[in-house]
Amino acid sequence: MPSYKRWYDHDPKLLEVIELLKNYQDELRAHAVVFLDKLEQNVSKEALDRFYDLVKPVNGNRWYDKDPVISKTVEILRVVPPEVQYSCAERFIAALKELGIEYESPQG
């Protein structure tokens, strides 16, 4: 069984969405806000905020720790079920197309 360095390396679609968020943070930030808003409707803002407070690093060294919206999105993506991860990945990819950004998937 392969060993993965990062939590998202096991799923090519999830790896792709993390790379998209990394490379297109400004363009996808509004879509990340929508994602978080939809989760808050189902879970509650307080629950998401408490979870994020527990997992966010004290001195964020990761690329996504620089923006609280992107950081929260990535951390939430880490713990939601795989079908939610996949759905979000599809939506972020579609969002780039809607924005007119030419993006070619590394998956071919």
Q: What is the DSSP letter of 80?
A: S
Residue 69 domain-assigned? yes
Residue 50 domain-assigned? yes
Residue 28 domain-assigned? yes
Residue 4 domain-assigned? no
Residue 16 domain-assigned? yes
Radius of gyration of the chain (CA): 14
Number of domains in the chain: 1
Taking CA atoms, 62 is separated from 14, 20, 90, 99, in Å, by: 17, 15, 24, 26
Domain limits for position 62: 12-98
Residue 27 domain-assigned? yes
pLDDT of residue 87: 84
pLDDT average, residue stretch 52-75: 84
More confident residue, 99 or 102: 99
Report whether pLDDT(40) > 60. yes
CB 76 within 8 A of CB 39: yes
Residue 3 domain-assigned? no
- Cα separation, 107 vs 59, whole angstroms: 33
